Structures are given as C-alpha cells and as structure tokens.
C-alpha cells in the first residue's frame, strides 16, 4: 500500500479522504416540509427473502444475514453506485461519499445516515437505516433500507422507501442529463439493490460478495467494488449539485 495522499484516491483521480472529511461541514440539502407530489418522487420497493419459521429471528438466519449485508452497504450494485466511508464512525451520523457511475461520467455526492431503525412494528421485527442527501448532491431526499420479519408467519422481506427530486442547483447540461436518464437509472438502482440482496442471502449466507477493500482507514462498499485504470479517464464531478 502506498503512503501519503495517493492512498486515499479511492475513485480514479478523486481524493476521497479529503472529500469525505469536507462532508462534516455539509448540511442536508432539503427540508421535509418541501416533500410532496408531483414535484417529488415518493417510492417504495420491496421483495421477499427466504422465509424463516414463525417467532423471533433465527440466530444466523435470513433476517440476521440480511441485516449484516444491509449494514455494510453490500447490496449496492457497484457498476451504478459505490461508496466510501470510515468504519470507525458510528452508523448513526456517519457520512458516506457515494460515487454515482453513468458510463464515462462519475459523480461524487455526500449523504449522512440520519436514522437507524431498530424496532417492533406489531408482529414485525424491523432493522435498517436511512440516509439523507447533503449539499452538492445530484438529488435531494431520503432513502431508508429495512429488513423486516413477520414473526407470526416467518416471512422476511427487504424494503426500500425513498423520496427524492433532482437538485435545483444542477447546471444546465447535468440537469438535462438528469431529466433524460436520472429517473430510469434511479429505479434500476433500487431494483438491483433488492436483487443483489436476495442473491447474497440465498447463495452466500455468511460471506460478502468480495474481499473487503480498505484505502487508508476508509472502506469501499460494496466489497466487490474495484477501481479500474479506465476510471481515471472518466469525467469526474465532485458535488455537482
């Protein structure tokens, strides 16, 4: 491993460690009072995971395994969105630098984990977390990822709920690209998140999809995300919104 600033250049030419540090001073870029249709997209995606027996979550069972994958952001399809964060930070309040990849364009945007869900909802055991977008993000909004077990039936599911809109601060060219491709890419991202988690829980019950990668003290997520030489040739935009 190289020393100095170069080791923190996780994504091509971008000094991820510096950008991540700068997020500490960034604020959430919207107010909840603004969220309403039709200006905002309000969505829920969900799918079943392998069921358990009725009752509390089984030790080492579907619900617990899925929670581990969700905690570590392993469900994110790395060809669309990958992330870097400091694992020493508590989950609640953690800043994450996301890299949204669209062909030769790579956008670097900050989010902050503002909620950790750990509750009972009737007969359902629910665990998960949510992040909100920070200043400079392509979008404005919030996404919650939750693993749910219905203890009366044993059914286990993964639910993604979100509200969002494109940032009004986007430049003209990026705004046009968002209007043309943003919504389809967003929907595809959430569908692939669900499909990945289903696949991992079913076929690799205890292991992440790849070997965890660290750059300095930072962790890449998901663990099968990799840097490629051609990444350096992409157009990199930090905080495009």
* DSSP string for 63-96: HHHHHHHHHTTTTS-TTTEEEEE-TTS-STT-EE
Q: Which distant-in-sequence residues (6+ apart) come within 8 Å of 172 by Cβ? A: none
Q: Which distant-in-sequence residues (6+ apart) come within 8 Å of 97 by Cβ? A: 16, 19, 20, 23, 83, 84, 85, 108, 109, 110
Question: Is 5-238 a CATH 3.30.530.20 domain?
Answer: yes
d(CA 123, CA 206): 26
Task: Supply the pLDDT for residue 124.
Answer: 96
d(CA 162, CA 133): 11
Over the stretch 111-138, which tens digit does the pLDDT of each residue have? Answer: 999 999 999 999 999 999 999 999 999 8
Tell me the pTM. Answer: 0.88
Domain residue spans in the chain? 5-238
Does the structure show a pLDDT above 60 at 19?
A: yes
Sign of CA dihedral 213, 45, 201, 67: positive
Over the stretch 157-195, which tens digit does the pLDDT of each residue have? Answer: 999 999 999 888 777 777 777 776 778 888 999 999 999
């Amino acid at each position: 491993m190289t020393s100095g600033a170069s080791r923190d250049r996780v994504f091509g030419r971008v000094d991820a460690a510096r950008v991540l540090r700068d997020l500490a001073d960034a604020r959430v870029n919207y107010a909840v009072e603004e969220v309403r249709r039709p200006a905002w997209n309000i969505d829920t995606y969900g799918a079943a995971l392998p069921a358990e027996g009725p009752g509390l979550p089984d030790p080492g069972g579907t619900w617990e395994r899925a929670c581990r994958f969700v905690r570590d952001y392993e469900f994110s399809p790395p060809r669309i969105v990958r992330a870097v964060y400091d694992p020493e930070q508590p989950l609640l309040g953690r800043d994450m630098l996301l890299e949204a990849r669209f062909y030769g364009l790579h956008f670097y945007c900050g989010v902050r984990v503002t909620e950790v869900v750990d509750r009972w909802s009737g007969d359902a055991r629910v665990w998960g977390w949510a992040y909100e977008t920070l200043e400079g993000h392509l979008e404005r909004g919030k996404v919650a990822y939750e693993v749910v077990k219905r203890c009366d039936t044993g059914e286990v599911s993964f639910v993604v709920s979100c509200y969002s809109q494109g940032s009004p601060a986007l430049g003209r060219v990026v705004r046009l690209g968002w209007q043309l491709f943003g919504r389809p890419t967003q929907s595809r991202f959430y569908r692939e998140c669900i499909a990945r988690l289903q696949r991992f829980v079913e076929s690799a019950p205890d292991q992440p999809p790849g070997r965890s990668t660290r750059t300095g003290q930072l962790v890449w997520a998901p663990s099968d995300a990799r840097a490629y030489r051609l990444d350096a040739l992409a157009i990199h935009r930090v905080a495009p919104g």
